[in-house]
Amino acid sequence: MPHPYQLLPAALLLLPALLLADDYREEREQMVEQTIAARGVTHAATLEAMRQVPRHHFVRPEHQGRAYGDHPIPIGHGQTISQPYIVAYMTELIAPEEGHRVLEIGTGSGYQAAILAAILPEVYTMEIIPELADWGAANLRRSGYHHVAVKQGDGYYGWPEKGPFNGIVVTAAAGSIPAPLVEQLADGGRMVIPVGSPFQTQMLMLVERDGESITTRSLMPVRFVPFTRSEEP
């Protein structure tokens, strides 16, 4: 029988593994209770997705320790992952539910796509910067979200072959609402998009289709990175 003290080094070696196994669950719970639900998000599937998705998988290693704070974080190439509250609010706005297919424009880290994929079996996302499209896709894969299709390209044109979409989430601020995206909204579909000039306060807008009628509503002032355009379609 080993003496209990002889077991101590082994127990210490196990400690990091035990901490990792916990996987920031506590931080995620706090993030949901203290910022997201506290600020008024009530959509149950959205809250559950925010509890599940390991946000620390979607930031660079040097930012892992602050992954669960309610602030945006740089992800390289001049881009940022949005603060958790905004991700949850935008998800709640398109109210994803069974049978919906959704499109995100601006994959970035892949986090917003992962939140959608925690709710839905079919998620499409587009990213204009090739390195981020690759990194976002890798983050999604290693977190187990294999049912997200990532496409590198200018999201202005959307992904017509996969539409129409019940929900579209745009995570970069456009000067105006891209017409091709409105065309790809299904009947009853909703799009959430920040509109306004770069580096000024923009307005988060909700676009809804009811048959041929399109309504838009301004929701709240926000700050997003700019929606950029490629030279050619």
Residue numbers annotated as active site? 82
Tokens matching residue 31 = 């993030």
Range 188-227, binding ligand SAH (CB under 6 A): 225, 227
We find the least distance from the C-beta atom of residue 186 to ligand SAH, in angstroms, to be 21
> By CB under 6 A, is residue 64 in contact with ligand SAH?
no
We find the least distance from the C-beta atom of residue 105 to ligand SAH, in angstroms, to be 5
Query: Count of residues binding ligand SAH (CB under 6 A)?
Result: 24
Tokens matching residue 61 = 């290693």
Q: In terms of CB distance, is 107 or 166 closer to ligand SAH?
A: 107
User: Packing angle between helix 44-52 and helix 84-94, nearest 10 degrees?
Assistant: 140
> By CB under 6 A, is residue 85 in contact with ligand SAH?
no
Q: State which of residues 67, 88, 101, 155 lies at the interface with ligand SAH (CB under 6 A).
A: 155
Q: State which of residues 112, 166, 184, 202 lies at the interface with ligand SAH (CB under 6 A).
A: 112
Q: State which of residues 108, 158, 167, 189 lies at the interface with ligand SAH (CB under 6 A).
A: 108
> By CB under 6 A, is residue 111 in contact with ligand SAH?
yes
We find the least distance from the C-beta atom of residue 154 to ligand SAH, in angstroms, to be 5
**Which single residue is written with the structure tokens 């029988």?**
1
We find the least distance from the C-beta atom of residue 12 to ligand SAH, in angstroms, to be 36
Q: Which stretch binds ligand SAH (CB under 6 A): 37-45, 91-99, 101-109, 196-204?
A: 101-109
> By CB under 6 A, is residue 124 in contact with ligand SAH?
no
Q: Which residues of this protein are in contact with ligand SAH, per CB under 6 A? A: 79-82, 105-106, 108-109, 111-112, 126-129, 132, 154-156, 171-172, 225, 227-229
